[in-house]
Structures are given as structure tokens and as C-alpha cells.
Structure 1
């Protein structure tokens, strides 16, 4: 951990054993030993025990460090904490990967992990940490940033699906359209995110000034609109490409049999091709959703809101914990979205991989 006289200056590192919290240190050592086991269950216990001891060490260590340190002193996790957290998280992920739980078990694990995390954060155990104090002073802006981040990331993916799925179907059926459209979408994907946001600013500013009613519905050169449109453009290639790939996985014999049964093109798409190609299509949605959750942070630079506004405020103030207040929820949201989409993708398979 680190202890600093205020929220801006760099903290002084403190070794864990100097805090005198030996039960937590013993638990961390036991978790490391259990993690050497070849049994998946033992490694799972090691990962969970290690993360629990880290939380206990933070909650009690912050109080020890702040005792008599002054009203403006701040205690924060240091590099050693993050290294150990990654280590125990990898142990847990490796154990779960080897155990290969089915979709139902993964839903239960995800719900349990979410409940435990919410309980720890809501219990006040970590209230002495600097990042918790940053949240306490910025609770309303934090929830506003969360709402805007969700609108940017999830909204852009929804619009990309509405646009990209029909385009993918057309590209699957018309080879000339596929050869013309996919290179254009690939080119858009190569444009750096900040440059794409910059391109959107003058274009939407012109639309706002020349198109009647555009400004009234929120179209402007800076803010939410350019960030949203840029994310939609970034989302099209994975959606269109995976739609084409998913429909291409349908065996020709199956498509011919459906045609022989008298099914129309729409019926074949909805009853045969889409159910068989859905796992590949959902994989594309997963990719673009996680991508957009990360890219939405850049929207803070052009007034788009989201967690990027907290990150860039922290950078301007050299306040590391304010940066983390925006960065950590972004990472958590991406991990949660990826886990949910993995479960949905597995459920969409005719024979889920976890049950083979």
C-alpha cells in the first residue's frame, strides 16, 4: 500500500508485513502454496482465498496507515497489491477453465461473484481507501458517467446490429456487395479512435448547422453524438463480418434440404441459417461490445461523457485514484459483458461446448 499527505502528491510505499496484519499475510502465503496444486479445485480455493485476504488486508491496512496521518492523508493500493490481485484472479480463471462449468453453473458463479462484490463495496470495508473517498465526493457524477458510458457502448452496439445484420445477410447472398463493402468497413476499422472522433466533429457540426431539426435532437460537433457515431462505425465490421461468417457455416446440404422443403428465403434465414450461424454472430457482438466499452473512454476527450470524463479529470489533476475511479469500473463492465456474452453464445449452440 501507499500513504500520501493528500490526494495529489505521490505516496510512500509501505510493506505489507509492516502493518502487523499477520492473519491476512498467512492467508496469502497459504493461497500461494495451494495454487501450486495440479487439482483445479485446489487452485480455485487458492484464488478465492488470496483475493479475500487481499481485501481484508486493504480494509484493515488503510485504517492502520491513516491513524494519526492527518485529515487530508490518503491510503491507496500499490503495485504489489495489483500484481497479487492479477495472480490470484488468473489462478481462479485457470481453475474454472479446467473445470469447464456449464452455462447454468457459470450464471450461478457470475451472480454469486456480483453479489459478493456489491456486498464488499456497499459494506464500507474499503471506505478508508483513497478511491472510495474520491467516489464519496463524486457520487452523482459517477452514476451520470456510468449511465452515459452504457448509452455509448451498448447503444452503439444495438444500432450496429440493426444496421449490420441486414448488410451481413445481403453480403452473404451477393458476392459483389461483399467484395465492395467489407474492404470499406475494414478501412474504417484501421482509423485510430481519436482520429475517428476528430473526423466526426466537423461532419456533425456541419449537419447541426445545415439540417433543420438536427440540433434539437442532439446532433452537435462535440459531445455525445460524434462519439456515438464513431463507435457505430467501428462496430459495423465485426457485426457484418461475423454475420457473413456465421451464415457461411451452414452446410450446403442443409440449405438445399430447406429449399427442397419449400421454405422461402426468409423462412430459410429465420428457421435454418440464423439458428445455425447464431454462435458466430454472437461472437462478433461480444467482440464489438468489449471493444466499445473500452473505446467509450476516449469520448471523454470530446465531451462525450462516460467514465472517460473521470479518467481525464484525474490526468489533469495528477490524481491517480480519480483515474482509477473511471478506469476500474470500465474494466469491470468489460469483464462482466464478456462473461455474459460467452454464456449467451454457449447457450445458442445446438450442442454447447461445455456439455460435449
Structure 2
């Protein structure tokens, strides 16, 4: 057996280097740039020793030990940043702000990748992965709601905007999941027709591919005059929320971006059904509709769900751009922070977006595995 895990060795080298860069910053207020503080200057040695031990344990070839090493590392950097905030703000003044710096974010990435690498080798079953996800989210909720990180600048940004934060979360989910639902309703029947009619496939897929090449800001810009015209000329359009700026153009743009993965993966999933299986279904007297729902769709479901996964993660990220045209969501915090040069306000919008995308990706991977045949999942 290998004495050292190659990924663990890389993580140990990178993590050791990150211990030599600023772990936190202290600034006079929320806008000005702060000065960096090294991790050993914070004086909380148990957490620092725990990080070093976790990097060392990550060298082990045993994935279970690397999994626990990653969890230990995350716990230690959380404790360190909490204690460090208390220390730095003790005599810093009423308007002082402290934030995690490059060392913290780098170590967060290192320990998260260490856990991901261990889980990849362990390859837990879908239900176990769901349980691990619940445990991770529960631990994250405990950390936030306990006030352990309450002295950090990003937490103070949240406290002053708590109601806006939850409104932005609802808007972000409406944009991402609502556009996904509409794309599935439109794209699945369209994918079935493209699978059965070659001429329609040759015309439709290139057109949807072209839509994907349009940059997101350009797509939102195209939607603004089109929907402004609809709002002024179509009776009742303005009353149902259609306007040149705001939620509607962002929603329509996300639907258009979503169509290619849905339609393309529907076609690919149905094409993946073995011809012999289709012949057997026809030989049993199944109609085309029965063959679709009873044979082709169950066999092609993993590929179809993969398309839904792509769209969900894509839309969660693209929904941030909606804040630029008044569409709401977490992008409103990101662009407000950019205008105010307030880094922690940017993070208040960016970090929840990243978390939503990661959770969505894991959940959809679980559903894809559950949709696979039992024999294939066992392998």
C-alpha cells in the first residue's frame, strides 16, 4: 500500500504554505482595506495545532482517516477565526471590522477538497451521502445560529440586512428553480419530438446551442427592450409583472439558457436506450406512448436528471446577474458591495450562492444515482 496519499501530499504542501499568509484582516471600518494578521499572531494555539495535525493526517492513504482529518481542519479554522475576531476587536474601536483573509479561505478550500477526495474514494451509497449532507448542513446551521462567528464583518452585514437577506433568498430560488421548472415543461416534450424526428433535431439543437453562446449580460440586455415592448403593447402584461427591467427579463433569459441542457439530455437519454429493448417493447404490443413512459423514460432517466442538474447549478449561478437589472436575488448584495467597495457585503451575496449550488449539485447527484439500475449503482 502507498504510505502517503498523493492528493493528501498536495493538500499538505498547499495548506502549509497557506499558514504563512494572513489568516484574518482588521480594518478601521467596513469600507477601508484592513491589514493582515497571521494565524500564529492570534494566539489560539489549540486550533493552530489542530490544523497542522489535520494536514498531517491527510497524508494517510486511508480515506476514512482523511475524511476525519478534513472535518477536524474545518472545525479548527472555524474556532480560530472565532477566537481571532474576539482578540482583534477587543481594543479596536466601535467601527472596527474583522474578516477572514486569504489564509482562512485557502485552508477552507484545502480541507473541503480533502473531504471531497476521501468521499470520492469511499464512494458512499446515495442515502448515506444524503445523511452526510444533512449532518454537514446541520453543523453549519449550529455554527451560524450559535453566534460563534457573530463578530465577523460578514455576520454584521447580515444582521443589518436580515430581512433583505431572506427576501433575496426567496427571489433567488424563484429565479433559479422557477426557470428550471418552465424549461423542463417546455424542453422535455421538445426533446421527445427531437428524438423521434431527425429533421426537428437538426434544426432545434443548433438554435439552442446558439442561445448558449450569448453572454449572460448581453442576453439580459436583449430581454429588456423586448419585454418593455410587451409590457406596453400587450393588454394585462404589466399587471402580471412583465416589465423591461426586474424579475421578468432575468427569468426569461434563464429559461432560454436552460433549454439546451434539458432538450439535449432528453434526446441523449432516449437515444441511449438499446435498440433491442425498443424492439422488444414494440413486439409486446406497446404503443409509442406506452413505450416512452414504461421503457424509454425509466432507462434514460439518469441522463435526463443529469441535464436537470446542469441547469439547476447553472441557474443558481446566473441568477446573481439578475441583481444588475433589478431582478433581486443574492446578486443585489453583490452589486451593492461592488458599488460601495464593501467586500463583506459582496460575500454576503456570493457565499450563499456558492452554498446553494453545492447543495443542489450533491442532491442531484444523489437522485441520478438512485435513478440508475440497481446493478449499475452497485458497481
Give TM class, smaller chain. Answer: over 0.9
TM-score normalised according to structure 2 size: 0.93
Tell me if 1:233 matches 2:262. Answer: no
Tell me if 1:276 matches 2:317. Answer: no
Name the residue aligned to 2:108: 85
1:203 is aligned, of 226, 229, 243, to: 226
Is the partner of 1:13 in helix, strand or coil? strand
Q: Is the 8 A contact 1:103 1:354 kept in 2?
A: no
CA separation in 1, counterparts of 2:142 and 2:101?
23
CA separation in 2, counterparts of 1:333 and 1:88?
19
2:285 is aligned, of 244, 249, 262, to: 262
Tell me if 1:304 matches 2:324. Answer: no
Q: Is the 8 A contact 1:346 1:352 kept in 2?
A: no
Name the residue aligned to 1:20: 43
CA separation in 2, counterparts of 1:250 and 1:193?
34
Name the residue aligned to 1:294: 317
CA separation in 2, counterparts of 1:284 and 1:352?
22
- How much does 1:352 deviate? 6.3
CA separation in 2, counterparts of 1:350 and 1:89?
30
2:156 is aligned, of 133, 140, 143, to: 133
Tell me which of the two structures has the higher relative contact order, counting C-alpha pairs closer than 8 angstroms and 6 or more residues apart. Answer: 1
Structure 1's consecutive aligned runs of 4 or more residues displaced over 3 angstroms after TM superposition are none
Map 1:140-219 → 2, pairs under 5 A: 140-219=163-242
Gaps of 5+ in 1: none
Tell me if 1:317 matches 2:335. Answer: no
- How much does 1:351 deviate? 2.4
- How much does 1:355 deviate? 1.9
Name the residue aligned to 1:249: 272
Per-residue CA deviation, residues 274-331 of structure 1 (Å, 9 max, x unaligned), is: 0000000000000011001000000001000000000000000000000000000000
Gaps of 5+ in 2: 1-23
- How much does 1:353 deviate? 4.7
CA separation in 2, counterparts of 1:314 and 1:305?
14
CA separation in 2, counterparts of 1:4 and 1:355?
53
Name the residue aligned to 1:44: 67
Q: Is the 8 A contact 1:44 1:91 kept in 2?
A: yes
* CA RMSD, 1 decimal: 0.7
Tell me if 1:220 matches 2:258. Answer: no
Report the number of matched residues.
356
Is the partner of 2:60 in helix, strand or coil? coil
- How much does 1:233 deviate? 0.1
